[in-house]
Structure 1
Amino acid sequence: MMLRKRAWDMMRDDFPIVREDASLAEAIRVMREAMVDAPDSQVVVVQKKSGKLVGAINLWKLFKAVKQSVLKDENLKEGGEVDWDQQFANACLICTQLRLDEHLITNPPVLKPNEPILLVLDTFLKSRRDWALVVEGEKVMGVVYVTDVYREMTRDMVKLFK
């Protein structure tokens, strides 16, 4: 049963998307909105106007970009008193001006819709990522997270142990 599962069986076809000309702040906003319905959502797909895949940005890349924005202020590095509210406001302003392409994962892990669950798992292991994009042609069909694969695998395992 489990070995018959394919990427399309596990993929989420409702996923956050931004265009390639979006700012870092826009990607953060879109991911935050996606997390309302899917708290484990952690990837924003970046596309051209035509819908062609450009890349993706994940939570870790967003964290790094925000950290770089906060640390741009020389006052933080001097070790004196810091107005953290003002610092955060400055970082937010910087984020609205940062280009997304500077933080983009341009070679994300990609799956074909009909790839079996073992190849999906192998893609996670080889890419050392806990997500992959399901792509057909040049169009992103969905996103599969390692948690989705885990749920599928353990669903059948739990049935066998009862």
Structure 2
Amino acid sequence: MLLRTRAWDIVREEFPVLRESSSLADAMRELNAVSDSGCLCALVMDDNSRLKGAVSMWDTVRFMEDNLLRGDALRGLDENRFEQMYVNACKVAGSTSVKDVMDTSPTVVAPDEPLLVVLEDFVKKGRSYAVVKEGPRVLGVIMIADIFKEISGQIVCHG
């Protein structure tokens, strides 16, 4: 089944799109809005709708961690001081461009790629998403949950 199922069979055609000039705070708002759907990334496009990269939930969490957890900064920290550090990190996120934190070489697969090859690409790059492109045109994204659903569905049916 993993060889017969293709990327186009499970591609998500709805996903957030950002511009390189969007702030990381904008990315967080967009990702928060789609988090219940299981979408883990937003694609970053230039003004001509060409793919420039992707920003994932992990990228945003890592950014916040880098700005909050410097060394032992939280040990013995009182709540008020932490709140101020958090506010400052949010301000930095608002002034940081997605192009400064985005993945500029996301996993890209063709729509006719077998799911087994897509899975291999996920594992090789250690990503939780892949972009499905046909030539220069982005068709959609595939999330690790989409692949898991396909694989686990087969196990449930045959197990």
How many residues are paired up? 156
**C-alpha separation between the residues in 1 aligned to 2:77 and 2:149?**
49
Does the 8 Å CA contact 1:111/1:132 hold for their aligned counterparts? yes
Task: State which of 121, 133, 136 in structure 2 corresponds to 1:135.
Answer: 133
Does the 8 Å CA contact 1:8/1:113 hold for their aligned counterparts? yes
Length-normalised TM-score, structure 1 = 0.85
Does the 8 Å CA contact 1:2/1:156 hold for their aligned counterparts? no
Shift of 1:158: 2.4
- Aligned pairs for 1:115-130 (under 5 A) are 115-130=113-128
Q: Structure 1: which 5+ runs fail to align?
A: none
> What is the aligned-residue RMSD (CA, Å)?
2.1
- Aligned pairs for 1:6-155 (under 5 A) are 6-36=6-36, 38=37, 40-70=38-68, 76=73, 81=78, 83-155=81-153
**C-alpha separation between the residues in 2 aligned to 1:29 and 1:86?**
21
1:36-62 Cα shifts (integer Å, max 9, x gaps): 4x1x32111100121100001112211
Length-normalised TM-score, structure 2 = 0.86
1:9-65 Cα shifts (integer Å, max 9, x gaps): 1111111111111011111111001114x1x32111100121100001112211121
Q: What percent of counterpart residues are identical?
A: 32
Shift of 1:2: 4.5
Does the 8 Å CA contact 2:130/2:142 hold for their aligned counterparts? yes
